[in-house]
Amino acid sequence: MKVSARLLVNVLLFSAGAFVFFACSKEVKTQPAATGAVSATVSNSFTDAGGNIINICGYSQIEPLTAGQTIPAGSVEIANDADNVYVTYHTTGDWKIKEVQLSVECNINGDCTQSKSSDLAPGKFPFKQVFAYGTDGPCGANGLPGAYTFKIPKTALGSCTCYCVYPHAVVVKCSGGTTTDTQTAWGGAVTKITNGKWYGGTNYCLQDCNDLGK
C-alpha cells in the first residue's frame, strides 16, 4: 500500500512538471531575422538656395560643414548638370552664413591634401560672397541667409572631370535675435595641419549626364 501511494505521488509530480514545461514552452517564440533598410540621401534633382529645383546629372554629393574644427554647422551639396557645377552651403540649427569663399581646382592625381595652410587662402579664392543684412540685425527677419549656391559654368573650370573642392565660410550663431558666436567653417573632411591651422575639402567627379532627369 505504501509502494502504491509513493508511486501515485511520483506520477502526480511528473505530470505537474510536464505541464509546467509545456506551458513555458508555449511562450517561447522565434524572433524574425532583423532586416535593414537603406534609404537614398541623394536624387536626380536638388533645390538650390533660391528654392529652384534643378535637374542634375547622376546624384549630388553631400559633405558636412564644420565650424571651429569640431562643431556641426550644416552641409555642403555638390552637383552638376550638362553645363554647370553647383556648390550649395546649408546651415542648420541657429547658424547663419556671414560670408563664403570657394575654390574648385582640377584634381589630376586624385589627392586633395594640402601640406601648408598657405596653399589655401580663402581671401584669394575665385568664388566669394559677403552678405549684408537689414536694420534688424544679422539674426533678424532680413538678416543673414542659411543657404547659398554657387553656380559655376563648366567652361570656367577647364577640361577636368574631377575636382578638389574647398568650401570655406564664416558662420555666426544666433540666439535671442543676437549673435553669440562667430566661427570659421569648412566643407568636407576636416584636416589639421600645424600650429592649429586646419582646412576642409573633398574630391568631386562630374556625374554622367546620360542620366539627366531620370
pLDDT for 146 beyond 90: yes
Helical (H) or strand (E) element with 21: helix 2-26
pLDDT tens for residues 7-34? 443 444 444 444 333 333 333 223 223 2
C-alpha cell at 92: 542648420
Burial (Cβ within 10 Å: 0-12, 13-18, ≥19) of residue 140: middle
Burial (Cβ within 10 Å: 0-12, 13-18, ≥19) of residue 108: exposed
Inter-residue contact 165 to 188 (CB < 8 Å):
yes
Weakest mean pLDDT among 23-37, 125-139, 147-161, 188-202: 23-37
State what percent of residues in the chain have pLDDT above 70. Answer: 77
Q: What is the reported pLDDT for 209?
A: 86
pLDDT tens for residues 177-202? 899 999 999 999 999 887 778 999 99
pLDDT tens for residues 34-80? 222 222 334 588 888 888 899 999 999 999 999 999 999 999 999 99
Q: What is the reported pLDDT for 109?
A: 81
Average pLDDT score, the chain: 81
Question: Does the model's pTM come out above 0.75?
Answer: yes
**What is the CB neighbour count within 10 angstroms for residue 166?**
23
C-alpha cell at 6: 509513493
